[in-house]
Amino acid sequence: MDCETFITMYNEQHAQNGETWSVIEQRIFQMFRELFHCATIEEPPLGIGSCLSSRALYAADLILELNNNNEIQPKLLEVNFAPDCDRACASHPNFYNQVFNVLFRDLIDEQNVTDISV
């Protein structure tokens, strides 16, 4: 299932509870902000070090769980430093071009890239 179909189906099933995909997406972004904040608090070897000329591509596996308040809560399962991007490339042929532009040229495509650092 592609992303657009998933989002449409999710919103059809959950919008009446006020839990549209955009709400869940913000929770996921917050989870990633917290993850990378915690991972960079300590210097190496305990944490991820700072290097202005370094770039990385990560992938994360997560699940969505219904919590005790009947809200969908993202749960992080794992983070991969060298992800398999075959599926991303199959559904988005310009995937690696966009990644390269963001990481090395500071060219951000607002339609496909979301800044979660704020």
What is the arithmetic mean of pLDDT over 32-48?
94
Cβ(60)–Cβ(80) below 8 Å:
yes
The model's pTM:
0.87
Residues of the chain with pLDDT > 90: what percent?
66
Tell me the Ramachandran region of residue 18: left when phi exceeds 0, alpha when psi lies from -120 to 50, beta otherwise.
Answer: left
78-111 per-position pLDDT tens digit: 999 889 999 999 988 999 999 999 999 988 888 7
10-34 per-position pLDDT tens digit: 999 988 888 999 999 999 999 999 9
Q: What pLDDT was estimated at residue 111?
A: 79
105 Cβ contact partners less than 8 Å away, ≥ 6 residues apart: none
